[in-house]
Structure formats: C-alpha cells, structure tokens
Amino acid sequence: MLKNFLIVATLSGAVMASAQPAAAHFDTQSKVFRLDGGGTTYAFGVNARGELQQIYWGGHLAETDAIPWAVPMRAWASFDSSHTTTPEEYAGWGAGLFVEPALKITFADGNRDLVLHYESHTTIANGVDVVLKDIERKIYVTLHYTIDLQTGILARSATIENREAAPVTVEQAAAAAWALPPAHYTLNYLTGRWAGEWNLTEEPLRPGVRVIESRRGSTSHQANPWFAIQSGESSEEHGEVWFGALAWSGSWRITVEQDQLDAVRVTGGFNPFDFGYVLHPRERLETPVFYAGYSPDGLGGASRLLHSFELHNVLPRTAATASASTPKPRPVIYNSWEATEFNVDEAGQIALAEKAAALGVDRFVMDDGWFGQRKNDHAGLGDWYVNSQKFPHGLKPLIDRVHALGMDFGLWVEPEMVNPDSDLYRKHPDWALNFPGRPRSEERNQLVLNLARDDVRDYVLGFLDKLLNENDIAFLKWDYNRNWSEPGWDQLPAAEQKKVYVQFTRNLYSILAELRRKHPNVEIESCSGGGGRVDLGILRYTDEVWPSDNTDPFDRLTIQDGFTYAYTPQVMMAWVTDSPHWMNKRTTSLSYRMLSSMQGSLGIGANINHWTPEEMALAKRLIAAYHEVQPTIVQGELYRLISPRNGSEFSATQTVRADKGQSVVFAFIHSTQEGRGFPILKLKGLDSATQYAFTSIEGKAKPGTPAVASGAWWMNHGLEMDDAFRGDFQAVAFRLDRK
Ligand code: DGJ
C-alpha cells in the first residue's frame, strides 16, 4: 500500500473499483501529487523553491512505488539558470525563464515579473485543484487536474484570478504545459488547407520551438490542436506515445519545445498573438482544457484511447440517449448541397427526399439556399426567414413529406456570418467585426458577426430558437465559411478590445449549450467549409463534424486516415457524391465511393435523381449492410492496417467491437503496378481462440478465404486477397462475426 499517502479521491464506478487504485494521491512528506488512471501515472510535486514541478508521465507505476524527485533542478552555467531548465507545471514569465511561459502578465505599475509558487490544494473527483500564487502580488492561479480512470487521459486547465487592487493585463495564458525528459522523439501533428485537411505531418524533434497554431479566430483547416510525440522506437502499433488535444475553437497555440538540455515541453492554450485580456480586481480568466494521454501501443494505441475518451467523456447526448454510455451511431443522411447547391425549392427537395428514402436513408438535410434572398453566395446571410419564392408554404410541407417517408429533417445554417447584402447588415452594420473607419475585408462576400457582443449573441440564439420552435427540425448543420479579419470590438475601451478572442468563442459555446438545453433532442454538426472547426471544445456541444469539402473518395482515404489520429470515426461524416468528382475529375465506381464513405458515418450527397436503377439498388444494399455493422465501424477499436499516405498503392482499416465479437475490414487499391497484388492482411485485436465467420460486404467472391477461422488464423496467417483484386480504384469490405 502507499504509505504516508492521503487518498484524496476514490473511484465512483463500481466496475472500475476492483481493478483500479484510487486516482489521486498527495504525499504530505515529499509533497508529491500522483494521478493514476488506465495504464498511466502522472506525478508532479512542490520543489525546494516552492514551484510546481513535473516529475513523471508514462506507464502505470505500482502502488507501492514511491516517486522520487527524478528531475532535479539543474542549471547550465550562468546562461541557463534552473528557472529555465526546471519543467514547471505552469510557469509564470519571471525570474530567469527563457522557455515558453504558461502565463505572462503586465501589472498596472509596469511590473512584468511573475513567479508562481505552490499555495494550497483541494481534492476533487479523480483529481486535484492546486492553487499557485505570485511570490509577492495577489495573482492566484488554480490548476485543475483530473484523470480518466478508463483511458488515463488527463484534463488540465487553469483559472487566473486578480486579487490586486488594480487591473492587470494577461498577455499569454496556457491551459497546461506537459514535459518529457531528454530523448529522441518524433513529433506528429495535423496540417492542411481547405479541401485538403488532416495531413499527418511527422518530423524529428530538434532543439528549438515548433509552433502549431491558429491566428484566425477559429480552429482552422491549416493546423488542428492535436499533437502526438513518439519515442525513438515507436511506430503505428508499438512503442511509447504522448499525445494531447486542446479543447478550444478560437485562436489557439501549441508550442513544442526542445530546450538547451534536450528536454521537451508542450505548452498550449489561447494564442498569445494579438492577445490581451484585462482582469479587473476579483475577475477571473478560465483557460480552455488541454487533454493529454500516454500510450505504450504506438500511434494506433494513442488514437484508440482518444476515440474511447471522446465517445465516453466529450460528446454530448440527446435527451433520448442521455443515459447511454456512448452516443448513438449517426443516422445515415442525405444532404442536398452537391446535388442542388443554392437552387433549393419545395418540389426539388421533395423529389430528392423520395429517392433518399428509397435508399434507406434515415435523415434528409436541406443545405444552403432556403432563406432570405439567397440565390448564390452574394446575399442573404443574416436574414433567417424562409424564402417565400422557393418555399411558398414555409418549410412545413417539405418537413411533413420527409417525415411521411420515414426520415427526420435537418437544416443548414451559418449563424455567425452576414452578407453586406442583407437586411441584417443594413440595420446593424456595427455588428460585424471591424475597426471603425477601416476597410472590411470580405471573403465569400461575407463578414463575421461579432458574436462577443451581447446583442449579437442574443440575436443568434433568438433566431435559432425560433427556427427550432416553429419547425420540426432534428438536426442543424452549423456552417462557418471564413476566418476573421479586422477583429475590432469598439464597444469596449481600447485596452480591452482584444477580449474578443475569448468572448466570441465563449458565446458560441453558450449559444450551443442553451440551444441543446431548450431543444434536448436536436443534434448539431460542426462544419466550417469542411474541417475548419473540429476540436474537443466544439465536440462538447456538437454530435458530428464535416471533415472536408473534398468528397473525392480517393482523396478522402487520406483525409479520413489523418482525421482518425485525433478524432473518432463516430463524428466523421462521409458522403458519397457524384463521379467524375467535381474537384479533380476522377472517375470511380459507386461501390468504391460507398466503401470509402462507409469508413466513417455514412451520408449520401450525390444527385440521386441521376442514379440508374442498378445504382439505386447497389446503394440500398450497401446502406443496409452498413446499418448492420455501423456500431462496430464507428465505435469499435480502430486499427490502421495499411496507411494510404505517401502515395501508397494500398490502404486498409479494421475496427473491432469492444467485446471482440465482430470486426469490419475495408481495403482499397489506388492502382496496382507490375502485377504486384495486395499484401497479406494480418488482422489485429481479435480474440485468438474465438472462431470468426467471414462475410463479404460488397459481395465480391474471395476464392480461398476460409468461411470460418480462429482469431489466431486471421491475425497470424492473415488474409490473402483474391488475385483478381487489382487495377485502379478498387475496394473490398468484409465482416467477421463470432460463431
Ligand atoms: C460549406 C460546406 O462545407 C458545404 O458542405 C456546404 O454546406 C456549403 N458551405 C454551403 O454554402
């Protein structure tokens, strides 16, 4: 047993209670805090100077293990004092700190020195709150820690409070800093652009700072707030990985820094670029939450932990599924965008809905074009009344028909935007983000409403609430099609206007939370011209996301591969669209397109008015096959067997249901060369002793494949693909079911 340890938090779940020790301990003698969860131990303590210092983060240590001060405070000559080499949990910028600070403050008298020391702590469920205070001034920082007992994923954030008599300006505020000892590491992060999101970018960590960030006011397509650091020997399925994800949908920054002595620090939170948050006496600033975890099983193990954590702890539940441990798999949707773009009307949408219902679709979603004077992207945003030329009787006849066809109804909105050509802008030009007297840069002919303002927040909440009260709408596709420019907020004094970076996102979250409270069965998708606003902040309030406007089924394989490093396939919407594809003119079979989209949460976004009876029949059969195994695909354990990255000719994924009773495999060929066929597929995660029956999903014969074989056979011998599985843009899928 742990001697001298005060057990400050115990298990709440009966299932876990027998298997796990208590989650949080504080050793009063050594002043070491220890958090245990899943296969992970995290430890930090109060060092001789009174600072909070990280000690250990990695595989679970025995309860009997005392945690020594393994990381001494070291200095390196007179140029790197121990202030800069000590891995502080949350360092103020002061004393001799040259590495990234967690907190930087300017006081009213011009003092900018901040040195945070341990003050006190309070235990909370599965964690601890630790209070730090400046050595002289009344700046208090409460660090919040919790650990998930299942996955060992830690949640950290900070509350900064000014108890001085005068205001202070917070110029930089991280949610947390994570530290790793000197070693060889590889950094992984996700980069991209519109229609090309989710590129896994890998590079060896070198001395200096790698900055991953968004300065755009929202999460961004260009970089996503996720990282994974592999130890030197780590690969997709083996070796140590430390990973994290920042839960913030505004401008953010994560710095990954290898210091002078090769130690690594990852610091993340509000982006300090153009940041300045004035804290008046007694005011507080809450940072976002920075989640992080540890896996001994490579990048694959890291993403499986994150997926499970997201499913169990982050994603919202509707009232109908409030008590379920995970959200229900997403309905298969039909979306009108690529079929009709802005040319929506009652008759046209009903015609599409009838076709969609015949396919077995669960939800019909009408996209852009139904409101205001919206004929194209030049007008209408902000005017959220139903366009009476397109829908002379309102939305009711369409919604009633969709219901009669056995589907529920979803609608597109873009609440935070305004076209200058709109009644809203003519009435409230001051509502757009702007610096008075300066030009207002338009993108897609639209401006960003300043959601930080109370009146704008009330307007947006009001029209959405009215829309949901007046129409039987099950789902909102919430779009956001540009980034910020000229982020002025002239209602506030000049020194306080940068508060917009925090308040905008807080109001976005509060609107989403309030809508969900008032309409507890409505579901919401976060879309931002594709994957521009996907993060663990927005995923607390939204049920799914749109990963990319690029729906090309081959491009999607890489997009979906990258997406799953950070986010669960449950939220990854994937539509089947038309061929040749509008973006890169690639021609692919319907079967290939369907199987590509079936890797995630399936949707149909094609112009199904043009589909042949044979195509309708194929899609109907595959939607039915998908419905049967969807929980395994979107909530099972994901193994990326063969990556489509780096020009690979082949790719394959496998998901295994939690009870190991079912598994689903997708395999894709880009183009075979020189007669070389698909590699033998050795499956993972099955139960060796269980017998599994093989069933093809797309229906192609696979000569030589056993009808039934043990888990050991599928994992060790593996599956040889049929020799005919060759050519360009080919796909197969199959399921294994416990006999
Ligand atoms: C961007 C989205 O990503 C698309 O799916 C579509 O909804 C358009 N906006 C509509 O303007």
Task: Check pLDDT > 50 for residue 17.
Answer: no
Task: Check pLDDT > 80 for residue 4.
Answer: no
pLDDT tens for 35-45 read: 999 999 999 99
Task: Check pLDDT > 70 for residue 5.
Answer: no
Q: Measured from the CA of 341, which atom of ligand 1 is nearest?
A: 10
Compute the average pLDDT of residues 515-530: 98
7 pLDDT band, cuts 50/70/90, is very low
Q: Select from 579, 496, 571, 587 the least CA-distant residue to 534.
A: 571
- Is the distance from CB of 263 to CB of 181 less than 8 angstroms? yes
Task: Check pLDDT > 70 for residue 16.
Answer: no
21 pLDDT band, cuts 50/70/90, is low
Question: Residue 84 and residue 220: Cα distance in Å, rounded?
Answer: 32
Residues of the chain by 3-state class (helix, strand, coil), percent to 5 = 20, 35, 45
Pairing of strands 650-656, 637-642: antiparallel
Catalytic one of 259, 479, 543, 555: 479
Residue nearest to atom 10 of ligand 1 (CA): 368
Question: Residue 59 and residue 41: Cα distance in Å, rounded?
Answer: 6
pLDDT tens for 648-672 read: 999 999 999 999 999 999 999 999 9
Could you identify the residue written with the tokens 């002289």?
A: 136
Question: Residue 112 and residue 330: Cα distance in Å, rounded?
Answer: 50
- Is the distance from CB of 329 to CB of 634 less than 8 angstroms? yes
Which residue among 527, 573, 604 has the greatest number of ligand 1 atoms within 8 angstroms of its CB, and so is best to mutate? 527
Could you identify the residue written with the tokens 């099983």?
A: 297
Compute the average pLDDT of residues 372-377: 98
**Alpha carbon separation from 94 to 90, 129, 547 (Å, rounded):** 12, 23, 41
Task: Check pLDDT > 50 for residue 306.
Answer: yes
Compute the average pLDDT of residues 143-172: 98
Q: Is 345 among the residues known to form the active site?
A: no
Average pLDDT, the chain: 94
Q: Is 400 among the residues known to form the active site?
A: no
Question: Residue 651 and residue 560: Cα distance in Å, rounded?
Answer: 12
Residue type, 298: G
Q: Measured from the CA of 335, which atom of ligand 1 is nearest?
A: 5
SS3 423: helix
63 pLDDT band, cuts 50/70/90, is confident
**Alpha carbon separation from 166 to 86, 137, 171, 241 (Å, rounded):** 31, 11, 16, 44
SS3 723: coil
**Alpha carbon separation from 353 to 346, 350, 467, 473 (Å, rounded):** 10, 5, 21, 15
Compute the average pLDDT of residues 173-188: 97
CB atoms within 10 A of CB 503: 21
Residue type, 549: D
Q: How far is the CA of 482 from the centre of ligand 1 (A)?
A: 11
pTM of the model: 0.96
Assign residue 640 a region (left: φ > 0; alpha: ψ between -120 and 50; beta: otherwise). beta
Asked whether the bond before 327 is cis by omega within 30 degrees of 0, the reply is: no
721 pLDDT band, cuts 50/70/90, is confident
Tokens found for residue 76: 């390196």
Task: Check pLDDT > 60 for residue 11.
Answer: no
**Alpha carbon separation from 29 to 5, 50, 150 (Å, rounded):** 9, 14, 29
SS3 340: helix
